[in-house]
């Protein structure tokens, strides 16, 4: 088969009018729906879903990580972007790492733990857009962490890959110079010292207690007091720099989204330090082609080459713009895409893709919520690399992220490690509105595709599937995918000979033609398909308010509505 509109899903779309939640675990989706049914809006339901995901999928997300959100306010038709990512500690220093023998950022040491921004992000989203309090929306997660839940299948499989990291086993080879001592607190996220199996009941009482503290005291419970002290002491035990003062200094930020127009809709992405810029650049590049009219091989070739160029730019320019200026307006412009598009050879894969200069010329969870009034929240929350650093703050049930791994140790690079600076972030939500006709400005869709460097590639593929190829949400998610290997996957996305992971389901003649053009294809089958991301899409019909939802078959989740 190919990816033309004749592609048919085996799973139906979910249809509703009063509200919908879509995410990677059914209990989390139902937690969000219960909040909608209790009178909450899209923001309230999003945080309830995110908190429940922390309980039922703690190997991917949680209090010790970061979050980003795009929120569509139906009354004003405005889209706001929340950056809930943390910064490097005040004592972070490149020289401290190079003196230890590191030539690039370590992966799982305490040095890689940046300030966790998730809970501040939860609180700030509710304060600006919600109707409920943290105490209201955390109740489903608190009950489930305390009383337990049966572990779902794919999450159990992923959990098993994190056992040695959580225990800090002596034979665990992380690739870092020093893995640090064994970690008794890692057992808080294990069942009898091992990962829970599918269907086993998992309780996390220490996490329940932490969530209960947040419900009672708000975000200060995390950033001031005993929790901040426990976190800081544990990170320092493994070489890191975080102090209670770093925790107390953390703040979220509200930013102006970046956009690209395509087939009558406007794509919104959070600006850097997130990699949404890569999706914007790639979409602007492919807007110069009539993709529906191309052969499947030509279409796939164009998409891959556009993404290769977009990644080259993202790897050079994405950083904390408050620490290093970025020519953002130029990078996101159609004029820049018109110049960069000249580098795409329709008959040959690029042997290298240097970044452009406009001045001169894994794991994550994603969730989508749309309420009955048409408000929408596209929300993403992550620890990075499964349980992140694998460090669990003792007595809290909270895994700590390793987002600082995404800094570089070249002091001249825009994304160089520096004090109080945010690193390159892979996690990005997406949202679209109509740009033409009587419904201009109305919500079109709330969607996202989680999974490291897959995320902007997933956003590009969903936009093309929905708009150029006319697929429904479930159809768009079910269609076979491709993915350029990211910098952490071996060969870089824009390096010479960079790999293209290709999912089962593509027509052999299409793959043969891609290989003839010089693409290095690596087939992906079975459970490994999860490396191609897990997406959720909710589309809203502007005339009658009907919500159409799809949920990725590569994950355990679903879309639920009422």
Contact 521, 502 (CB under 8 A): yes
Tell me the pLDDT of the chain (562 aa) as tens digits: 334 444 566 789 999 999 999 999 999 999 999 999 999 999 999 999 999 999 999 999 999 999 999 999 999 999 999 999 999 999 999 999 999 999 999 999 999 999 999 999 999 999 999 999 999 999 999 999 999 999 999 999 999 999 999 999 998 988 899 888 999 999 999 999 999 999 999 999 999 999 999 999 999 999 999 999 999 999 999 999 999 999 999 999 999 999 999 999 999 999 999 999 999 999 999 999 999 999 999 999 999 999 999 999 999 999 999 999 999 999 999 999 999 999 999 999 987 776 654 543 356 899 999 999 999 999 999 999 999 999 999 999 999 999 999 999 999 999 999 999 999 999 999 999 999 999 999 999 999 999 889 999 999 999 999 999 999 999 999 999 999 986 544 334 444 346 899 998 999 999 999 999 999 999 988 877 878 999 999 999 999 999 999 999 999 999 999 9
Contact 389, 112 (CB under 8 A): yes
Give one DSSP letter per residue of 84-153, joined into a string.
E-----TT--HHHHHTTT-SS--SSSGGG-PPP-HHHHHHHHHHHH-SS-HHHHTHHHHHHHHH-EEPPH
206 is catalytic: no
CB burial of residue 164 (10 Å; 0-12, 13-18, 19+): middle
Partner residues linked to 23 by β-bridges = 367, 558
Q: Among residues 109, 364, 396, 531, which one is catalytic? A: 364
Task: Locate the domains of the chain by residue range.
Answer: 25-470
Supply 287's token pair: 């807007």
């Amino acid at each position: 088969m190919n990816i033309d509109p004749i592609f048919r899903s085996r799973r139906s779309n979910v249809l509703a009018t009063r509200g919908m939640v879509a995410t990677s675990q059914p209990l989390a989706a139902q937690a969000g729906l219960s909040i909608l049914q209790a009178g909450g809006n899209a923001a309230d339901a999003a945080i309830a879903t995110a908190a429940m995901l922390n309980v039922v999928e703690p190997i991917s997300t949680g209090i010790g990580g970061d979050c980003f959100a795009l929120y569509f306010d139906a009354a004003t038709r405005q889209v706001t972007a929340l950056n809930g990512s943390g910064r490097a500690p005040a004592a972070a220093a490149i020289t401290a790492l190079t003196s230890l023998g590191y030539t690039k950022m370590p992966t799982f040491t305490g040095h890689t733990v940046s300030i966790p921004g998730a809970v501040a992000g939860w609180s700030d989203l509710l304060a600006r857009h919600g109707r409920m309090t943290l105490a209201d929306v955390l109740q489903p997660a608190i009950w489930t962490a305390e009383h337990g839940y049966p572990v779902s299948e794919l999450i159990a499989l992923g959990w098993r890959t994190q056992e040695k990291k959580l225990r800090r086993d002596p034979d665990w080879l992380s690739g870092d110079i020093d893995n640090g001592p064994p970690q008794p607190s890692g057992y808080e996220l294990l069942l009898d010292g091992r990962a829970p199996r599918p269907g086993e009941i998992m309780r996390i009482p220490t996490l329940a207690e932490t969530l209960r503290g947040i419900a009672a005291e708000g975000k200060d419970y995390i950033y001031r007091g005993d929790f901040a002290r426990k976190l800081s002491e544990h990170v320092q035990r493994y070489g890191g720099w975080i102090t209670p003062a770093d925790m107390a200094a953390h703040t979220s930020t509200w930013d102006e989204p970046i956009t690209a127009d395509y087939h009558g809709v406007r794509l919104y992405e959070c600006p850097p330090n997130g990699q949404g810029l890569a999706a914007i650049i790639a979409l602007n590049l492919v807007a110069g082609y009539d993709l529906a009219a191309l052969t499947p091989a030509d279409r796939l070739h164009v998409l891959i080459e556009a993404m290769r160029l977009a990644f080259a730019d993202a790897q050079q320019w994405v950083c904390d713009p408050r620490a290093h200026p970025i020519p953002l307006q130029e990078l996101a412009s159609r004029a820049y895409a018109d110049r960069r598009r000249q580098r795409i050879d329709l008959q040959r894969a690029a042997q290298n893709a240097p970044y452009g200069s406009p001045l001169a010329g894994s794991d994550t969870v994603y969730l989508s919520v749309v309420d009955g009034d048409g408000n929408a929240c596209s929300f993403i929350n992550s620890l990075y690399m499964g349980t992140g650093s694998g460090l669990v703050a003792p007595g809290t049930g909270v895994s700590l992220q390793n987002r600082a791994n995404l800094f570089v140790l070249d002091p001249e690079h825009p994304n160089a490690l520096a004090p109080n600076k945010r690193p390159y972030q892979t996690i990005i939500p997406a949202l679209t509105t109509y740009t033409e006709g009587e419904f201009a400005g109305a919500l079109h869709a709330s969607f996202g595709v989680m999974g490291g460097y897959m995320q902007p590639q997933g956003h590009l593929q969903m936009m093309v599937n929905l708009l150029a190829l006319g697929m429904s949400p479930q159809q768009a998610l079910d269609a076979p995918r491709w993915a350029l290997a990211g910098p952490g996957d071996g060969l870089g996305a824009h390096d010479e000979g960079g790999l293209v992971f290709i999912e089962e389901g593509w027509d052999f003649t299409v793959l043969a033609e891609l290989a003839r053009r010089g693409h290095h294809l690596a087939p992906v089958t079975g459970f490994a398909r999860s490396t191609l991301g897990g997406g959720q899409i909710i589309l809203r019909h502007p005339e009658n308010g009907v919500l159409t939802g799809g949920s990725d078959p590569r994950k355990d989740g679903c879309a639920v509505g009422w």
